[in-house]
Each structure stands twice: as structure tokens, then as C-alpha cells.
Structure 1
């Protein structure tokens, strides 16, 4: 595990180990990077280092009782917070702070890791902010996010930002193709995750293949007529996107389709998410202005936010389709 994360994010691990070696451990860090870049893995590694009974040269021993319990996520000094449903709620933050401030812990630093920190609702973020402003004792916060700019600026300013570099996408795609994945599917999954194993799982998943196909068919329906697109939402989209996770993934793919359109319109050499549909996407690029493309991408991002807020999914998609269809104009 140690060698794996060090190979993938050497600069990050070197920086964390250096802060430990020079006794400059911060009270709050913000690990920022794409899905699959190893943020939680690095957070656990850092937690082991901070609690290890016999670290050597700023490296956890991996064999002591503390290291084993941190790795197993059962050390009482380490708390991991994840979204409860679609977001992280105020009650979760209040419970965390109460736990961090009460007695009864083992000796050593207390560490809390907040996964998907950008999913904190306003009340949760403000509750955490108060704790970050006045940390008590040896406490270290590690916030993990794939959307740094969605974190409150006041929280950003109180954390040391540690960026996680994505792997070389072309190399990931080549390795997937070597295992029998089609180049087009490899291009799609490597946009969704930087973890090669998860990318392969997605590429071999029949449900994901259907989801991908459904997103592209929606693009085609919206290109023809708004009524056809609205009918498609009822007949094809909603039956496939049964779970919120599917809907979120579908919206991500839709966003990447528009990213492809922008790349083609601008003549960029970037790897496309949907290279097998390049001709249709290029046609769309000639029908839409840059301003409209930007507005459509913002509409998709807003739809994702409404999804987290438990908006009716049928109404959400119908509104989105109406917004997207407005952009199909000759320039």
C-alpha cells in the first residue's frame, strides 16, 4: 500500500513526510485531486505516520498496533466522515467536534478525515469553520475533495492545499486497450476516474455501457427536436438512470460530451471522451456559440446540484433538456 501511493503521488507523500520530519504538522489540510488519485489512501498513510509507535525516517513502520488499526479504520483517534446520503450534514459535524473535544482518547494526535468535503451543506461547512478557527489540542483535519472551488473560501484559507496530480491519461488508455477494452470505452472511463483498476471495472460493466449509450442518444434526440428529447427522458433515460448514482454519472458524461464539443470547435488536440461519436459532436460544434456551450455546461452543473438537493429527477431532466435545446442554433 505504501509503495503504491508513493509511486502514484510521490510529491505528495514526500511533502507529508517532510512536515513530520521537521515537526511542522499543520492543523488542517485540503487534499485536492480527481477521483482515483489516491487522496484517501494518502490520508490514511499520513494518519499512520502521525500515530505510529516507531516511525523511521518519517515513514510509518506498518507493523505496530497503531499502524494496523489506522489501516483497518478502527483506531479511536482517527475519525472518517462521509456524506450521509447526498451531503454532509450539520449533525455530522457537531458530532465530530464533540468527539474531537472530549477526553478518553489514546495518547497522540487526533485526526479526522472528511471525504467529499465539497458535499458539506452550508450549515455543516459553517460548523466546521468555527472548529477550524479555534482548534483544540493536537488535532489534524484532512479534507478530501474533487471540487476544490466548491469549498468555502474561508475554509480554503484555513487549510494547506495539497494538489494530487492525475496519472498520464494516454498511458492509462493504452494499458486498458492492452487488456481488450475498446479505445473509445478506454477514452470514456479514463475521464471519470484516475484509478486504473476502477476504470477497468467501469469499462467491463454492462450497466455502464448502457448508461454511456443513453447519454449519447440523448444528445442525438436533443439535436433533432425538443419534444423528441423530452419523450426520450421518459422512455429511455429515467428507466436506465434508476439510482441517484447513475443519474450523477450520466450528468458527468453529458458534461464531458459538451467538453468534447468545445475541444472540437476550438480545434484542440485533447483526447476526446467520446471519440467514436466525433462526427456528430463536430456537427454540434458548428451549430453552437462558445457562449451557449458555456451556458449549457453551467446548466448541467446546476442540475447536479439540484440532484443533491433531492429535486424530482423527471422535472430536473426536463428543465435541463429545455435549457440545452435552446443552444442548438446556427452561427
Structure 2
């Protein structure tokens, strides 16, 4: 999304709130953009930055052609700083380096913009240090904090930001976008259930790792049905080695969630909603006989609980072992 007009199609309320501030020259000193992955958080952050630095704005719209706009997109603008987690969290030292930048004038203008990705991963010390800027804002400095989980951000930070909630994107609209851009219908159905980011969707669709992860999840679900005594061995010999980091593990759980959702949809006769087992009704019939609707609801809740544990940095192998035991009961 390169313009506010494009963003308005998917986030009309957020777009209206921010563009009204731009028209009145009242951009907030700090924003907290909260919404699911792919809802446009980073696009909004870049549009705000372009609005501040663009040399040839047309009304509220950036030109997307000047040197400043191009450097903001490429991440090379000297007065636009991005902070993202170092490992699993944003560390105190990263914020200290940011605070040093606060003391300098902008290199090319008197304005500065800081974008803090995954702001919910700020450590306690890092959160307390970022408050220094939020409590003593410079009128020429703008902080933009992005998060999928605003409840993990301390209240003192939230209270000093303009909080903007981004609504989930319509998966039907997104699926149609993917198809129009060349993705086959079956893949588009699956990807639109996993992400709202078009670039990410096409990357995953062509990724050998993703194809193998999907294959492993099919095998795992089948094994729960036909050879439950072998699941634990399969987990440690195949699944855990393939899901190497938190992003992999979260995607694995997302695929597993969709697989069990499909079994539930098949149970209740909603076959139009299938996304994981779209062309495998014979397998679905066998799985539906193995898992009751009540059991499937318990499994879906267990997978969601496992996702929360990963977010809380519980040891991943332990998370998957516990989930396996809950599904096998």
C-alpha cells in the first residue's frame, strides 16, 4: 500500500483518523498501531513517515518518487529509525541507542521518526526507558509502535500514545486479490486463512519449507487417528527439527489449527469452508469418524493455548509435547 487512498479500502477508520490529523498538521507525537499480522501496521508507519519527509506531497498523499520516499521504503533514510526484536525481545541496550539519537538534531531536517516493531516484546527495562521520550516529547519527533498484542504493553506507554485499532482484513477479499495476481484457487484459500500479507502469501506458496511443514501436519493428524502410539516419536524425529524457530513453530500451529478446523467443518457439513483438506474428502471422512465435534472443540482450544504459550516464551518442545498429550486423550 503506497497511498492513503489504497489503505482506506482496507482500514477506513484508521486511515480517516490519521489523514485528518495530517490535514490539520496535528500528527501525534506517539502512535500505537495494534492489529493482526498483515493488517497494514507497517504500511501506515511508512505513510506517516513519508507524510513528514516527502518533498512533493500532493495534498495528504506522498509522491512515492522523491529521494526521501524511496529511502524510507528501502530503510535508508537517516532520520527514520526502525527498532525490531533482537532475538525474542527488544533489549534495554537498543532503547539506550535510540535515546542517544533523541539528543541529536535530524541529519537532513529537524524531524525524526522512530518505528518500533513488535512493541509488545519490549523488556521491562526497555519499556521503562522508552517512557523517557513519551513523557517528554519533542514536537519534531514521532514514535510509531506496532503490535499484535497490545495487552502486553505497559499501561503507562499506552496512555501516552494515540491508540489506533486495525480491523482484521476480509479473507474473501484477500483471497480474490491473490487469485487476480496469479495464485491458484486452492492455494489462495489456504494462504488467505494464514496471512493478510500478499508478499508473504506468495513467498510461502513457493517455499519448500512451507510445503514440507504442511506435509508433516497432514502426517501428524493422520497419525493421531491411525497410529497414536507413534506420535511422540514422529514429533521428535520430524516435526520439532523442522520447526526451528518461533516463527516456524507459530506457522506449524496455524497449519495444525486449520487442519482440525477442516475436520470440524466436514462434521457439520460446511465443506465450502475447507482450506487445508480441500481435495481430500476420503481422509476427512476417516478423520471425522475418529474425532467427535466435542473432541475437536477441545483440540482447537488446546492449539490456541499452545500458541499463547509460545508467545509467552515457554520452551517450544515442551509446548508441542503437552499439545500432543492433550490431543491424544
Preserved contact between residue 61 and residue 67 of structure 1 (Cα < 8 Å):
yes
Q: Which residue of 2 aligns with 1:300?
A: 306
The DSSP-based 3-state class of the residue aligned with 1:144 is: strand
- C-alpha separation in 2, matches of 1:268 and 1:158: 46
Shift of 1:265: 7.4
| Residues 1:286 and 2:293 are matched in the alignment | yes
* 1:214-269: CA deviation from partner (whole Å, max 9, x where unpaired): 12322333345654221110232124324443223112323444555676778889
| Residues 1:209 and 2:211 are matched in the alignment | yes
- C-alpha separation in 2, matches of 1:212 and 1:260: 14
Preserved contact between residue 33 and residue 145 of structure 2 (Cα < 8 Å):
yes
Q: Which residue of 2 aligns with 1:200?
A: 202
Question: Residues 73 and 201 of structure 1: is their aligned pair in 2 closer, same or farther, counting only changes over 3 Å?
Answer: closer
Preserved contact between residue 30 and residue 156 of structure 1 (Cα < 8 Å):
yes
Q: Which residue of 2 aligns with 1:108?
A: 110
Q: Which residue of 2 aligns with 1:246?
A: 248
1:58 equivalent among 42, 57, 60: 60
- C-alpha separation in 2, matches of 1:269 and 1:90: 50
- C-alpha separation in 1, matches of 2:293 and 2:159: 42
Question: Residues 32 and 63 of structure 1: is their aligned pair in 2 closer, same or farther, counting only changes over 3 Å?
Answer: same
Structure 1 portions without partners, runs of 5+? 327-331
Question: Residues 28 and 279 of structure 1: is their aligned pair in 2 closer, same or farther, counting only changes over 3 Å?
Answer: farther
Q: Which residue of 1 aligns with 2:323?
A: 320
How many residues were matched structurally? 321
Question: Residues 205 and 127 of structure 1: is their aligned pair in 2 closer, same or farther, counting only changes over 3 Å?
Answer: same
* 1:139-171: CA deviation from partner (whole Å, max 9, x where unpaired): 211112233344334433332232334443224
- C-alpha separation in 2, matches of 1:87 and 1:241: 20
Shift of 1:289: 7.4
Question: Residues 212 and 267 of structure 1: is their aligned pair in 2 closer, same or farther, counting only changes over 3 Å?
Answer: same
Preserved contact between residue 5 and residue 41 of structure 1 (Cα < 8 Å):
no
Shift of 1:47: 0.4
Q: Which residue of 2 aligns with 1:46?
A: 48
- C-alpha separation in 2, matches of 1:261 and 1:122: 42
Preserved contact between residue 20 and residue 50 of structure 1 (Cα < 8 Å):
no
Shift of 1:25: 1.3
- C-alpha separation in 2, matches of 1:109 and 1:140: 8
Shift of 1:321: 1.7
Question: Residues 64 and 226 of structure 1: is their aligned pair in 2 closer, same or farther, counting only changes over 3 Å?
Answer: same
Q: Normalization by structure 2: what TM-score?
A: 0.81
Q: Which residue of 1 aligns with 2:72?
A: 70
- C-alpha separation in 2, matches of 1:18 and 1:160: 14
| Residues 1:2 and 2:2 are matched in the alignment | yes
* 1:49-108: CA deviation from partner (whole Å, max 9, x where unpaired): 112345342223444443343233222221111111222222212221221233464433
- C-alpha separation in 1, matches of 2:46 and 2:304: 34
The DSSP-based 3-state class of the residue aligned with 2:128 is: helix
Query: Quick check: 130-139 or 93-102, which moved more?
Result: 130-139
Preserved contact between residue 258 and residue 297 of structure 1 (Cα < 8 Å):
no
Q: CA RMSD in A?
A: 3.3
The DSSP-based 3-state class of the residue aligned with 2:273 is: coil
Q: Normalization by structure 1: what TM-score?
A: 0.80
Q: Which residue of 2 aligns with 1:138?
A: 140
- C-alpha separation in 2, matches of 1:241 and 1:301: 14
- C-alpha separation in 2, matches of 1:87 and 1:324: 31
- C-alpha separation in 2, matches of 1:280 and 1:128: 54
Preserved contact between residue 29 and residue 143 of structure 1 (Cα < 8 Å):
yes
The DSSP-based 3-state class of the residue aligned with 1:233 is: helix
